[in-house]
Every structure is written in C-alpha cells, then in structure tokens.
Structure 1
C-alpha cells in the first residue's frame, strides 16, 4: 500500500471512529494505571492492616482518573496531532497532581464522614499552605510521564489500529501503564500517602503486639521497640476487632494522629515519625 493510499485509508470515517474509540480506551487504561500505582497499592497495604474503608481512596481516584483520561484520549484522537495531545495531557497531569494531594486530605475524609457519621468531629484534616508546594512537586513528576504518554498517543495509536495482532493493538496501552507505574509510584512514596500509611501500619503493628503478648512475660527492650507503652493507659479498650484511619497531622506530616475504632471505644494515638507515643479514648463506639 502506498503512502497516499494509507493516508486516504486513515481519513475514512470508519477508521476515524476506530481511532477515537481507541483513544478513549487508551485514556481509560492510562488513568487506571495511574490509579493503581498511586492509590491501589496503598489501599492494598491498608486493607492488610485494618484500615477503615481501605479501598475507598483507590475507588474514587481510579474512577476520576479513568473518566478524565478517557475524555482526554478521545479529544486527542479527534485532533489527531501529537502536539495537541501533549498539551491536553499536560493539563491532565495537573489534575492528577491535584488529586494526589486533595484526594486523601480533602475528598476521602469528607466522603468518610458521610459514610460513617460517627467520625464527625473526630477527623481534623487541615489543608496547610505548604501542601500547595506538594501539588507542584507532584505536577512536575507526573507531567514527565503523562506528557510522554500523551506525546506518544497519536503515533502509537495510528499503528496499533491497523495491527492484526493482540499485542500490536495492546502495545500502546502497555507503554502507558508502564509510564504510569513509574509516575504513580513516585508520588505515592514521596508526598502524602506514604507517611499516612506508615503511621497507620505502625499503630496496627503495636496493637497486634499488645494483643499477642497479653498475660505473657515480655522482654522490656522488645516492648520499648514496639512502643507498647503507648497503649498502657487504654489497654482495656484494645480488641482484636479494629479499624484504623488517620485523624489528623501537622504541616510536615511528621506528627500524625491515628484513630482506632475498637469494639467498645474510639481511641486516638499520637504518632511521631512512625513511632506511637501515646493513646487516649476519645469516644465510646456505638
């Protein structure tokens, strides 16, 4: 097939429709990939450490990113120019960056108080001025990988839609997921998710240590290492059944409060750089 015939084929209405549909799926897969690596792995860890609604963050984030991605992929395919696609995806990068900070610190806590009215008055999520710089840092990292995926969308898609093999058609989406795995992992581990997650894991590990060693002689050094003393004053409230959620933090995300719902009481624990310091009963569970 000559270059002229290929160009004519590419401009056929049915081919244009296929390109736009492919663009939608490209964007959806890209958004899902970002959601998995930015919030999915975080949710998986929290689900293993008694997190409260651990998959909520991933669910909301993935739906939003897939919707934004699908729409952007479709518009980019309609324009059909790599430079336009790049500009559109850079706007998407900013929206993803905004979500990396605002989803865990604004959207999720507001959703949780709707789902669990008992949390009203117990969550103190403050949006500090410094968080704006975190959005900027997130945008820089995400823009690199989302921008590259956007720049590659049109040339990769044009070859993929004419491919006769599954791998040829799926190749561009695989590339997009790989790029999102890098960008999503960087912002997951470097900005907000990691300190909140690590504090929750630290408290849950200490709770399990307290439960496992009740009535036993425990080495004092091991007890100090596990910070079991933080639960000494509220030992009677500690039960195997529990749910944990971050209830507050300072501007540097170094001092974090973790709220624990036991069978009878709500307990809040102060955690400083992943070390539980003290816990107190703040409410009786209903």
Structure 2
C-alpha cells in the first residue's frame, strides 16, 4: 500500500480556522466597501445638503452587505475551490444588486416613517413595475466586479494568511476595495441614487439662497436662475433650520417632489429636471 504524504500546513485545524476567519474578513470588507461607495458617498453629499436622516441608508445597507459578504467569504474559504466559490459570490452580488434598488425605494421610506411618523402620510413612492429591471441592470455591473473579487479571494488569501507583514495581510482587501469602488460608482451613478439625490441638492441651493438673502436685496437674474419664485407663496414658512427628503417621483425621475421640514411647516416642492417649480404647505411640523 502506497502511503500518501500529509500536508500538515493545510490540514492543521488552526490553519483552517485562520483561513476561514480571513475569508470572513475579506467578505466583510468587500461588503463594507460596496456599501461605502454606493450609499456612503451619497449619504455624505445629502448630509451636506440638509438631507433628512442622511446616514440611515448607509447604516442599513452597510449592515446588510457586511453580513452577506462575511458569510460569502467564509463559505468560499470553506469550499476552498474558486469554481465552487464563484456561485456563492454571484449570489451575494445579487443580494447587493437587490439592495441597491430596493433599499432607497422600498426599505428606506418604511424605516424613515418609523423615525418620523408624519412621513407615512406624505411619502408617495410608486412601483412602476420596473424594479426587477433595475435590479438586473445593477446585477450586470455588480456580477462582473464581485465575480472577479470572488475568483481572486482564494489565490490572494493563501499567502495573506501566512504573511507576517500588515501589508501582506491587507493587500487582498485593498484589491477588493478597488473593485468595489468601481462597482459602487457605477451603481450610484446609473441606478437610482444620483437621480434621487440631484433634485434634493438643487432645491437645497435655492432654499439656502433664500435664507442667506433674507432681509437683503436679491439679484433678479440670480433669483430667477435659482427659481426663487417657487417659494413665493410660502416664503413665511422658510426657516434656516430645515431638512429635505424626496417624497414622490415619476418613472424616469424627471418630475419629482421633495419634502421640506421647516421649523413650523412641512412643505412639498415640485422639482422638474432638477429645477424647483412650485411649493405648498402640506402640514404642520411638530
């Protein structure tokens, strides 16, 4: 009988545990990276433009993606074969793609309504039957980048587990973050985030212009450019403290409504092609 040599380096339980842990950290970092570049940057921009609960979307998305990524990375390390790990990562890419569409359009409105009950009667998010198509579009981008990151996991993780330098251990994670930066940029720009963010940013510029020129003469040309007339009927409601959230949209995000929570009133503003058109009071703010 021919004896087979034992490969103790890969059979030792402590080595296997180290590989599984590294796989989980690799996946967690991948999920966090995707969440940061998809919702973190978006949340930062909204926070700089008086968004209402601007970091909530990132918090929910990051938690979901980190759990999904960690589970995928751990399972891929357990399988220890790139071809077996690939379906695992493609499944996680679908979860990321589903979240990229459904988080801002279905999950976030419900979460925000729990924190701000008045929003429940003011949100009018319509399902135009295209959520599935948007998810598939996001998946077409995500699948490529996550598949590459998944295929590279095992070859890159193997030396990283045994590396004695910080750079050696972090190099695979940096590589997957670069891939997630590209994926996050495409999803942020091409799915729904940018389309939902731009009207809010535009309206914030108009409100801030009104607040900054309160009691002072406005340049007529600049006032027209910023569509200050949209606030003429509710000028008394405008206060320096306010928060914005998109509350209604058409199929292509061209004609949208943005809610403004001022100190005393809730105001609904119609924004067409990122240009404020008209605003009206829709309720009293607590």
TM superposition score normalised by structure 2: 0.96
Offset from partner CA, 1:108-157 (integer Å, 9 cap, x none): 10001111111121001112212321111100001111110001111111
Inter-partner Cα distance in structure 2 for 1:277 and 1:132: 31
Q: CA deviation at 1:63?
A: 0.3
Q: Which residue does 1:214 correspond to in 2?
A: 214
Q: What does residue 258 of structure 1 align with?
A: 258
Residue 241 of structure 2 corresponds to 241
> What is the CA distance between 1:219 and its match in structure 2?
2.2
Deviations 1:37-71 (A, max 9, x none): 00000000111111111000000000000000001
Deviations 1:85-128 (A, max 9, x none): 11110111111000001000111100011111111210011122
* 2:121 alignment partner, SS class: coil
Partner Cα distance (1:144, 1:135) in 2? 14
Which position in structure 1 is the counterpart of 2:28? 28
TM superposition shift of 1:214 = 2.3
Q: Distance in 1 between matches of 2:273 and 2:85?
A: 42
1:158-209 Cα distance to aligned partner (Å, 9 max, x none): 1111111111111111111110000011100111000111111111110011
- Residues in 1 aligned to 2:245 and 2:7: alpha-carbon distance in whole angstroms: 56
* TM-score of the superposed pair, with normalisation by structure 1: 0.96
Correspondence for 1:136 = 136
SS at match of 1:120: helix
SS class of match (2:26): helix
Output the CA distance in 1 between the equivalents of 2:5 and 2:134.
Answer: 50
Count of residue pairs the alignment pairs up: 283
1:285 corresponds to which residue?
285
Gaps of 5+ in 2: none
- What is the aligned partner in structure 2 of residue 59 from structure 1? 59
Answer yes or no: is 1:86 the counterpart of 2:86: yes
Offset of residue 10 of structure 1: 1.6
Question: 1:6-54: CA deviations, max 9, x gaps?
Answer: 9431222111110000011001000000000000000001111111110
Describe how 1:4-23 pairs up with structure 2 within 5 A.
Answer: 7-23=7-23
Corresponding position of 1:182: 182
Distance in 1 (CA, whole Å) between partners of 2:282 and 2:71 is 45
Matches within 5 A, 1:137-156: 137-156=137-156
Measure the CA separation in 2 of the matches of 1:197 and 1:11.
Answer: 51
- Secondary structure at the counterpart of residue 215 of structure 1: coil
> Which residue is equivalent to 1:197?
197
Distance in 2 between residues matched to 1:5 and 1:150, nearest whole Å: 30
Output one character per residue of 1:224-243: Cα deviation in whole Å (capped at 9) or x when no partner.
11111111111000000001
Q: Identify if the C-alpha distance between structure 1 residues 169 and 5 changes in structure 2 by more than 3 Å, giving closer, same or farther.
A: farther
Instruction: Give the gaps of 5 or more residues in structure 1.
Output: none
Instruction: Name the residue aligned to 1:106.
Output: 106
Closer/same/farther in 2, CA of residues 6 and 122 from structure 1, 3 Å limit: farther
